[in-house]
Structure 1
Amino acid sequence: MSRAPRSSSPADRREVTPRAATRTLSEDPLGGTVRRTVLPSGLRVLTEAIPTTRSVSFGVWVAVGSRDETGTQSGAAHFLEHLLFKGTHKRTALDISAQIEAVGGETNAFTTKEYTCYYARVLDEDLPLAIDVMCDLVADSVLAAADVETERGVILEEIAMHDDEPGDEVHDLFVRAVYGDHPLGRLISGTEETVTPMTRRQIHHFYRRRYTPPQIVVAAAGNLDHAAVLRLVRQALRGTPLDTERAAPAPPRPRTPGVRTRPAATVVEPKETEQAHVILGCPGIDRLDERRFALGVLNNVLGGGMSSRLFQEIRERRGLAYSVYSYASQYADSGLFAVYAGCAPGKLDEVLTLTRAELGRVAADGLTEAEVARGKGMSKGSFVLGLEDTGSRMSRLAKGELLYGTLMPVDELLARVDAVTVDEVNALAAELLARPMSLAVVGPFGADDFTG
């Protein structure tokens, strides 16, 4: 005998909105209150309330970059970044730009090897507009076939322009020398050979497969209220492809072994340039390596400023180059350390000789206590001064969540830098700077000019 269904009360029939989990991460004396909410879909919202400002920076960050592409997809993440500004089901491309510019705001985006960011900066009173526009373009872009063809031409021009900048090209040449065919070695923009045949279907598939709530972090910093931001984000995403079923947030990109680097090599791109551009470097450490704070100190002293060893020796004392510096790039499971210099072609041999000698000296003899103290001061000062605007604070929230899965308080980070010892820096220098170095050169040379 079947039983008649029980009639439901009005309370039973009410739509139940899934609860979001919110917690306060910090109340920083150097900033404001930081809060984090995980929506049922897995999308995360982080805010830093800074009541003393009159602006807000708002960003939508996606844990997808060029290293997530296959060989034939090379350039898809960057192509998609362009296309999302071309129109949604609610707004044309002109609407997107005009609505933000009408209130004096600005929008932009960028693609890296491991994530993509779309952001806006507006007056605090215009934050609801910025949230609606930026969430709309990330969640519900049309990707019209005509826009794909238009932006293809724009991107090909961008690639050509990049090829005309030898100071940029040498960095790409160096990365390929180290990583080869690994996704980390590919150009973020893709190449003419990969971008030209890329179809709207391929890009749309990449979009819908990769841009999912668990992979997305929304971050905002400035004069704001967390609850209001949360309400506006949920409202902006309601009914879009990002309004999905329950899911857990994606963890940070795994620190997996197996990123193979190529043996040290010399690669030359012959070009009739007025200046030679050169990078000498090697594989470094990944971003979770506990030695990253020591690396920051080492980099500062070696080539991180006007007081650095390389700048003083090559530019100040000898006048051989206008630009010379060292840098470190860090990824989830790999990294790079390198020195760049731009000089007259006839001075390149001497610049390389001096650079190798300085690297050898630091590897063998290390840095002094005074140098390490200066390097630590540079690290702390640059970090704190970099937090003076809402854009950098917004970026800090998103990168902490996406890349590390946590937000290190400012005081803790400064303490970690303070805790770096001379022995730690010198042990890292002895290991890192003694590694075989790859050399990348763009200028009026041939490969035979750097043998022996």
Structure 2
Amino acid sequence: MHRFASPLLAATLCTGAGVGAAFAQQTTTVPPDAKAAHQPEPWTQIPIPPLAEFHPQQPKRIELKNGLVILLQEDHELPFIGGTITIRGGSRDVPAAKVGLVGLYGDTWRTSGTTAQDGDKLDDLLEAKAAKVETSGDIDSTGVSWSCLAKDEDQVFGIALDLLEHPAFKADKLTLAKQQAITGIVRRNDEVEEVAQREATKLVFGADSPYARQPEIATVMSVTLDDLKAWHEKTVAPNNIIVSVEGDFDPAEMEHKLRAAFEGMPRGTAWPKPGGEFPGPKPGLYVINKPDVNQSNVWIVGLGTERSNPDFYALAVMNEIFSGGFGSRLFQDVRTRLGLAYSVSGGYGASYDHPGMFYTTAMTKSASTVAATKAMLDQIDKLKTEPFTDAELQSAKDQLLNSFIFRVDSKDKVLTEASTLEFYGYPADFLEKYQKAIEAVTTADLARVAKKYIDPSKLAILVVGNQSEFGTPLSEMNMGQPHPVDITIPMPAAMRQQMEQQQGPGN
């Protein structure tokens, strides 16, 4: 079948007139500069030099005799100083009956203030100086951070140090933190996207895994002031601490000040490295019925890798081709060509000290749930069957390397990255190796890691949406009976009774 280039040519062919006559008629109407219009755009001819080698200004590293590590990044661009005291130990390390403790600890620590100064008064003092001192709790760490004008550094750092050494932990502030945490728990099923991501994480790591478990009302209510004090005493040891400071300071003076503050701390018990088994999800189809929505969130999930894996770089390039933005295979097929999703994305996750999560996710109309899921699975299969091209390889490398620079385009970002590497025990030049390692990836490497790490038989599929509007039933996936996922929020008996009394009979 001929695809006609123009209405004129099409009409001529249909009436039996000669192609030569049609061509002659066309050429009489073509502007004389038509050839120029088909020339490559000038901007495409601009030579693009190779990226320069990456050598960021590394912070100065100082290790005290008690094991505390200091990282100093001098930067005189602005008259500010900011610092962080990062302490090993986080929510993954608390007992199952106390899940939520670290979040309450991070909140109560700062709002309570110190034994010498009330937290509310600290708020007023710091606000007057446009300064900040905050405390936090994360999955693997807790910490104190501060930022201020350089002229106020001594006073503001003194507050941060006082919080570290003499926290107050007040009952009324813990009560307030509990109320806020419980409010969040009660409303955690309001946003469908959050429900889908949370439950997909549980499928990969297990509902009871430290990397997926969630605070419940009962676990939050069980936390006491003594628990917070015991946690602080257990974790705050110099050999579990990294202090990083960036800004407008004299390095020798700052080192002297930090040594004076921390060298006298006695060494404590070293924080144990994380362990655990990571078998990945139980393959199958899982569903959460949400009758109040008109679209579905679909997650296809499996186990990812660690950044220390030598294949990390090839997997990063493979993932960029698969799901890295508008030009990715996933986006171009599922959204652009098939029009089956409002948004579609994915990632081959790589954490620093445990496997990340491999996921492919889309948000689609209820009626196209099955079609979108099948299209996503098809693209996952094609990672093993459709050869990677040189053009895909180069584009992915360009995307990764051009975006990577924005992670380290300022001294404070370099310090953040260096602190992260220090925390997880990675070599200081890990970032410098990234550029060369990405550039060295070949299409053969991509084919090898796709064959090694992509196994559709080990994936789980989670669908969160309105089952009555799916159109095509989930049974069309040929994955057996869908497993319903219960997202009911456990309610302590006393609280349930109180709520029923407030609602009154018949409600």
1:185 to 2:212 alignment: yes
Change (3 A) 1:345 1:434: same
Matched residue, 1:422: 443
1:412 to 2:397 alignment: no
CA distance in 2, matches of 1:288, 1:182: 22
Matched residue, 1:338: 359
How far 1:390 sits from its partner (Å)? 4.8
Matched residue, 1:396: 417
1:302 to 2:355 alignment: no
Contact map agreement 2:289 2:464 (CA 8 A) in 1 = yes
User: C-alpha offsets along residues 151-179 of structure 1, whole Å, 9 cap, x if unaligned?
Assistant: 10011123334432221221110111122
Matched residue, 1:265: 284
| SS state at 2:467 partner | coil
Matched residue, 1:319: 339
Change (3 A) 1:76 1:359: same
| SS state at 1:277 partner | strand
1:74 to 2:110 alignment: no
Bigger Cα displacement from structure 2, 273-282 vs 105-114: 105-114
Matched residue, 1:290: 310
User: C-alpha offsets along residues 270-311 of structure 1, whole Å, 9 cap, x if unaligned?
Assistant: 222243222111011123211112222222221122222212
Matched residue, 1:167: 193
CA distance in 2, matches of 1:345, 1:75: 35
Change (3 A) 1:360 1:33: closer
How far 1:72 sits from its partner (Å)? 0.8
How far 1:37 sits from its partner (Å)? 1.3
| SS state at 2:227 partner | helix
Contact map agreement 2:370 2:474 (CA 8 A) in 1 = no
Matches for 1:37-436 after TM superposition, within 5 Å? 37-86=62-111, 87-106=113-132, 111-180=137-206, 181-187=208-214, 190-236=215-261, 244-246=265-267, 253=273, 256=275, 258-271=277-290, 272-327=292-347, 328-408=349-429, 410-435=431-456, 436=458
CA distance in 1, matches of 2:59, 2:173: 39
Change (3 A) 1:93 1:57: same
Contact map agreement 2:57 2:411 (CA 8 A) in 1 = no
How far 1:236 sits from its partner (Å)? 5.0
- What is the RMSD of the two structures over their aligned residues, measured on CA atoms? 2.8
| SS state at 1:184 partner | coil
CA distance in 2, matches of 1:140, 1:376: 49
CA distance in 2, matches of 1:340, 1:130: 44
Contact map agreement 1:36 1:47 (CA 8 A) in 2 = yes
How far 1:30 sits from its partner (Å)? 5.5
Change (3 A) 1:130 1:379: farther
Change (3 A) 1:261 1:412: closer
CA distance in 2, matches of 1:176, 1:357: 24
CA distance in 1, matches of 2:250, 2:139: 32
User: C-alpha offsets along residues 208-231 of structure 1, whole Å, 9 cap, x if unaligned?
Assistant: 212322222111233333333333
Change (3 A) 1:95 1:37: farther
CA distance in 2, matches of 1:108, 1:389: 22
Contact map agreement 1:60 1:119 (CA 8 A) in 2 = yes
Change (3 A) 1:62 1:50: same
| SS state at 1:163 partner | coil
CA distance in 1, matches of 2:370, 2:268: 57
How far 1:77 sits from its partner (Å)? 1.6
Structure 1 stretches of 5 or more lacking a match?
1-27
| SS state at 1:307 partner | coil
Contact map agreement 2:84 2:143 (CA 8 A) in 1 = yes
Change (3 A) 1:69 1:415: same
User: C-alpha offsets along residues 353-377 of structure 1, whole Å, 9 cap, x if unaligned?
Assistant: 1110011001223422222222222
Change (3 A) 1:318 1:100: farther
| SS state at 1:441 partner | strand
| SS state at 1:289 partner | coil
Change (3 A) 1:348 1:54: farther
Matched AA of 1:445: Q
Matched AA of 2:299: I
CA distance in 1, matches of 2:99, 2:381: 37
CA distance in 1, matches of 2:55, 2:78: 13
| SS state at 2:256 partner | helix
| SS state at 1:193 partner | helix
What TM-score does the superposition give when structure 2 sets the normalisation length?
0.74
CA distance in 2, matches of 1:283, 1:342: 21
CA distance in 1, matches of 2:190, 2:179: 17
How far 1:259 sits from its partner (Å)? 3.3
CA distance in 2, matches of 1:220, 1:139: 18
Change (3 A) 1:125 1:346: farther
CA distance in 2, matches of 1:376, 1:226: 37
CA distance in 2, matches of 1:130, 1:118: 12
Bigger Cα displacement from structure 2, 102-111 vs 34-43: 102-111
How far 1:337 sits from its partner (Å)? 0.9
What is the aligned length? 417
CA distance in 2, matches of 1:366, 1:56: 51
1:445 to 2:445 alignment: no
Matched AA of 1:77: V
Identity over aligned residues, as a percent? Answer: 21
CA distance in 2, matches of 1:427, 1:313: 23
Contact map agreement 2:134 2:145 (CA 8 A) in 1 = yes
Matched AA of 2:425: Y
Matched residue, 2:26: none
Contact map agreement 1:42 1:250 (CA 8 A) in 2 = no
Higher relative contact order (CA 8 A, sep 6+): 1
How far 1:334 sits from its partner (Å)? 2.3
